Amino acid sequence: MSLVTRSAAPYRFTIAGPDGKPVTAFAADQTKRLHFYAIRSDLNGFQHIHPVMAKEGVWAAHPAGLAPGSWRMFATFTPATGPGKGTAFVLSRTVTVTVPGSAATIPLPAASSATTVGGYTVTVKGA
């Protein structure tokens, strides 16, 4: 799967229940029924999108001009009915979306339990 251009091409998908049919009833989480994330493989790009669901349970997310490189798409949601009712899910496909063009890879920093950005320090403690 790939996006042909760097423009805002829609990413369409459905969420199938255990019976294989599209799920169409979702509980609101932070005021939205579904949260969609596009995350670049080198973590140098991130978008949090609130897609709209059309008939038959087809969602359309509109990433805004993804930079060239490999991206992974995630959806988080909670079904409002059925066997998964009330259970929060995070789904992704193993296929990445590749945006054509020259992609400058930025290496990840070494793992650390603390970092400072913009004058704020975040520290993680524990196992």
Band of residue 110 on the pLDDT scale cut at 50, 70, 90: confident
List, for residues 65-88, the tens digit of each pLDDT value: 888 888 899 999 999 998 889 999
The mean pLDDT of 46-73, rounded to a whole number, is: 90
C-alpha 34/C-alpha 14 separation (Å) is: 12
C-alpha 95/C-alpha 42 separation (Å) is: 15
Band of residue 127 on the pLDDT scale cut at 50, 70, 90: confident
The whole-number pLDDT of residue 14 equals 93
C-alpha 112/C-alpha 122 separation (Å) is: 10
List, for residues 36-45, the tens digit of each pLDDT value: 999 988 888 8
The whole-number pLDDT of residue 90 equals 94
The whole-number pLDDT of residue 1 equals 30
Residue 71 forms part of a structural domain: yes
DSSP letter at 55 equals G
Domain with 21 in it: 11-123
* Number of domains forming the structure of the chain: 1
Residue 31 forms part of a structural domain: yes
Contact 36, 73 (CB under 8 A): yes
Residue 1 forms part of a structural domain: no
C-alpha 19/C-alpha 29 separation (Å) is: 24
Residue 112 forms part of a structural domain: yes
Residue 84 forms part of a structural domain: yes
Residue 5 forms part of a structural domain: no
Residue 6 forms part of a structural domain: no
Band of residue 95 on the pLDDT scale cut at 50, 70, 90: low
Contact 74, 37 (CB under 8 A): yes
Confidence (pTM): 0.75
Report residue 51 as tokens.
């897609």
